[in-house]
Structure 1
Amino acid sequence: MTNTAKQAAITTKHLNHFFGSGDARIQALFDINLEFARGSLTILMGPSGSGKTTLLTLIGCLREIEEGSVRLLGHELYGSSEAVFVALRRRLGFIFQAHNLHESLTATQNVLMGLQVHGSGDRAKACIAAHHILGLLGLSDRLDYLPSNLSGGQKQRVAVARALVSNPEIVLADEPTAALDKVSGHTVVEMLKALGQTRGTTTVIVTHDPRILEMADRIITLEDGRIVADDLQ
């Protein structure tokens, strides 16, 4: 096995994060030390306000690292330029509870946006890829539907397809199954597990959904910005 293969996809060391300033400054994360192996599926759990989403956004280059270290795909984020952040974001797939679909675009067109950021120039191949992944998520009959004509669960599955169509190296998901029924939720997580096994995709999921816990390789629990449990499944 090469050094690259052995290297963790994500590493955090002595990571702290704060919100506000002066007397209103509040610490949101306390000394977070973690490694996420390539190809693994990890769930972050904990009550609202425990720091789960904050940690996810720091890992995903969506917030600046204030104290400590985050290494993402071999690159140190602390002190990195915006250009580095932009380049790394293109190697990630993001799934958020708010699906953030463009209302004027069809399901297919929304998914194609996940390829456009990578400069995919072959429109025909891109459409085939978009239709394939939408089909895997049970949306073959909704390819040309606008978001206004989709249910909440269908919109979320389009958002999942958009995140996965470019075969990202890391998937970061915040409550991706909250709007989905049990079968659809399991389909999404099974797809993420399969990507980990076949392509080495690393997935980190923030969730309160007990229906998908058994599918994780690892469950990390946070409370008040601190890791209180770290369990391998």
Structure 2
Amino acid sequence: MDGAGHHSAVPVAVTGLDHFFGTGEARKQAIWDVSIEVARGSLTVLMGPSGSGKTTVLTLMGCLRDVQHGSVRLLGEELNGAAEARRVALRRRLGFIFQAHNLHESLSATQNVLMGLQVHGRGDNALRLRAAHHILGLVGLGDRLDYLPGSLSGGQKQRVAVARALVSNPEVVFADEPTAALDKESGATVVRMLKTLGRKRGTTTIMVTHDNRILDLADRIVTLEEGRIVKDVRAR
């Protein structure tokens, strides 16, 4: 397997990535020559001090920001210069978990998770409902299926957001500080779930975190400082 065939097996491949914010005199470089290949089914953690560029790298990999300079290949597709329609199609194959849970306050836990399937427009309603209930059970909310977000704790809301991101079986999950709002046990549960999906389904997870409890579970820890990769450690 060489050339293109080999490459498509790598879910995320970044080469020579630079990124700038602002224009004219105010233009400032935020990312410098970042290159990284992420293995399928792995849990990769991006860490570094505030302002080190880790969230910028995550959003560039995740098709949430335009690639200006360098190459990002996501699921075998080049993002630099990709048309918006291609990027929308790619985003449907991804899962996103953010620090803010972004739940719809007027919808129950189950309905919020179903939103994660609506964008895909596939499957009948009974199947969707079963999938939503199943994944809420996996994140420990089987007894909160019909609760509105207002009746859930911060940690429970975040677990609903995780369930919503995972219900569609995404190929790659991008997570930005997903455990910040969670207590130790919930945080570990969520990360272990992502690890299990990696093992069973080949789901690849790329996560920005400051959470030292997560680092023991990571397959690889990439450290950024001032927009550059300064350390790249793989678990033995």
The amino acid across from 1:199 in the alignment is R
Are the counterparts in 1 of residues 19 and 32 from structure 2 also a CA contact under 8 Å? yes
SS at match of 1:12: strand
Are the counterparts in 1 of residues 8 and 75 from structure 2 also a CA contact under 8 Å? no
TM-score, normalised via structure 2 length = 0.96
- C-alpha distance in 2 between matches for 1:176 and 1:146: 20
String of CA shifts for 1:130-159, please: whole Å, max 9, x gaps: 011111111111111111111110110000
Q: Which residue of 1 aligns with 2:217?
A: 215
Question: Pairwise CA RMSD of aligned residues?
Answer: 1.3
Number of corresponding residues: 233
SS at match of 2:210: coil
Q: Which residue of 1 aligns with 2:21?
A: 19
The amino acid across from 1:100 in the alignment is N
- C-alpha distance in 2 between matches for 1:107 and 1:7: 35
Shift of the 117–6 alpha-carbon distance from structure 1 to 2, 3 Å rule, reads closer
Q: Which residue of 1 aligns with 2:174?
A: 172
Which of these residues, 89, 93, 106, is aligned with residue 108 of structure 2? 106
Q: How far is 1:6 from its partner?
A: 7.0
- C-alpha distance in 2 between matches for 1:101 and 1:15: 33
String of CA shifts for 1:8-64, please: whole Å, max 9, x gaps: 110011100010011111111000010001111000000111001101111111110
Shift of the 6–21 alpha-carbon distance from structure 1 to 2, 3 Å rule, reads closer
Are the counterparts in 2 of residues 172 and 204 from structure 1 also a CA contact under 8 Å? yes
- C-alpha distance in 2 between matches for 1:153 and 1:124: 28
Q: Which residue of 1 aligns with 2:53?
A: 51
Are the counterparts in 2 of residues 5 and 38 from structure 1 also a CA contact under 8 Å? no
- C-alpha distance in 2 between matches for 1:147 and 1:4: 44
Q: Which residue of 1 aligns with 2:190?
A: 188
Q: Which residue of 2 aligns with 1:62?
A: 64
Are the counterparts in 2 of residues 42 and 216 from structure 1 also a CA contact under 8 Å? yes
- C-alpha distance in 2 between matches for 1:219 and 1:201: 17
The amino acid across from 1:190 in the alignment is R
- C-alpha distance in 1 between matches for 2:6 and 2:126: 33
Q: How far is 1:7 from its partner?
A: 2.1
Q: Which moved more, 1:1-10 or 1:35-44?
A: 1-10
Q: Name stretches of at least 5 consecutive residues in structure 2 with no aligned partner.
A: none
Q: Percent identity?
A: 72
String of CA shifts for 1:137-185, please: whole Å, max 9, x gaps: 1111111111111111011000000000000000000001111111111
Q: How far is 1:5 from its partner?
A: 8.7
SS at match of 1:162: helix
Q: How far is 1:4 from its partner?
A: 5.9
Q: Which residue of 2 aligns with 1:133?
A: 135
TM-score, normalised via structure 1 length = 0.97
Q: Which residue of 2 aligns with 1:154?
A: 156
Matched, 1:38 2:40: yes
The amino acid across from 2:227 in the alignment is G
Q: Which moved more, 1:222-231 or 1:141-150?
A: 141-150
- C-alpha distance in 2 between matches for 1:51 and 1:137: 30
The amino acid across from 2:164 in the alignment is R
SS at match of 1:31: strand
